[in-house]
Structure 1
Amino acid sequence: MPQLSLHTPIGDMAIAEADGAIVALDWGWGRDQDQTTLLRRAQAQLEAYFDGDLQSFDLPLAPAGTAYRRAVWQALMEVPYGAVRSYRDIAATVGGSARSVGQANSRNPIPLIIPCHRVVAKAHLGGYSGGEGLATKRWLLALENPERSLL
């Protein structure tokens, strides 16, 4: 599976593609480095996002997961840049519970591009399994909306 790594403000990340679509974005430096057109495009969009110049990704995505998880991830894609939604809000859209939405978020294979960091608990930030955990989630939310109180 072709992959390309990049340095970001929240740590090294590796983008992977399969069959012409992005299938993963992982923390850490990938073993292989492939310069495919799609991976270079994804890298450029991620760099623009971190520079504050991109609010919406335009990449073909193919996250592997159950039908429910894919429905949750699709709902996450509809949360606007700089906004947040609660786990309960997402559950009201796709069904299930706040807990099942949290489980789907924790299994998101393409974080940032599928913005699971924009989902928070009712009274606090909730969790975050990427990077340095909640510190990474706070950083991403502040990047997108510097004036927001980070709970």
Structure 2
Amino acid sequence: MRSAPAKLNYTAVIAAPFAHLGVMADAQAVQRIDFLPLDYALLSAADVPVQQLSVALAEYWRDPTQGFDLPLSYQGSAHQLRVWQALLAIPPGQTRTYGDIARLIGSSPRAVGQACGANPLPILIPCHRVVGKTNRGGFMHRLDSAALSYKDWLLQHESAL
């Protein structure tokens, strides 16, 4: 999961309870989501995948047990794809450590962390559910308070199950 690079042309920017989300999509699928500050201007879009994403996220904000059945399009290395697939199996309200995922797919915790940080579809591919063995770990290749506050919000939201 990563924070937004400067000046991307988002298809939409939608509100979340803790941030704004920059969305990149085409007519067929959602391709990327970035966390943006709350003062980033909202931008609506009529594209079907963006509308579906908005509805699905609204449901998730109300009930974190809601799964996501959306048209997605993303690419990654074979290792990243294995990690992201493993993340999709973590139920809401639960966490796994980087080491847990590494053992599951035959990798290393550091490599799992790198793949989590490269996740193009945070929330939908729940890298926030992966924590360190003794702490909450990082988020979006960052340890700053903004990035960790996003992770904390998502984990607290889901822990209310």
Which bracket does the TM-score occupy, shorter chain normalised?
A: 0.7 to 0.9
**Would you identify which runs of 4 or more consecutive aligned residues in structure 1 move more than 6 Å?**
none
Q: Of the candidates 141, 144, 151, which is equivalent to residue 158 of structure 2?
A: 144
> Is the aligned partner of 1:11 residue 2:22?
no
Deviation, structure 1 residue 22: 1.5
1:1-151 counterparts in 2 under 5 A?
3-18=11-26, 20-28=28-36, 29=40, 33-52=44-63, 54-129=65-140, 132-146=146-160
How many residue pairs were aligned? 147
Unaligned runs of 5+ in 1: none
TM-score, reference length from structure 2: 0.81
| Superposition CA RMSD, Å | 2.3
The aligned amino acid for 2:114 is Q
Unaligned runs of 5+ in 2: 1-8
- Kept in 2: contact 1:2–1:34 (CA 8 A): no
Deviation, structure 1 residue 32: 6.3
Deviation, structure 1 residue 33: 4.2
CA distance in 2 between partners of 1:31 and 1:138 (Å): 23
Q: CA deviation digits over 1:6-49, x for unaligned, max 9?
A: 11111111222236222101123579643111110111111211
Deviation, structure 1 residue 133: 1.5
Q: CA deviation digits over 1:76-134, x for unaligned, max 9?
A: 01101111011111111222100000000001010000000000111110111289211
CA distance in 2 between partners of 1:30 and 1:112 (Å): 21
The aligned amino acid for 2:151 is K
Per the alignment, residue 5 of structure 2 pairs with none
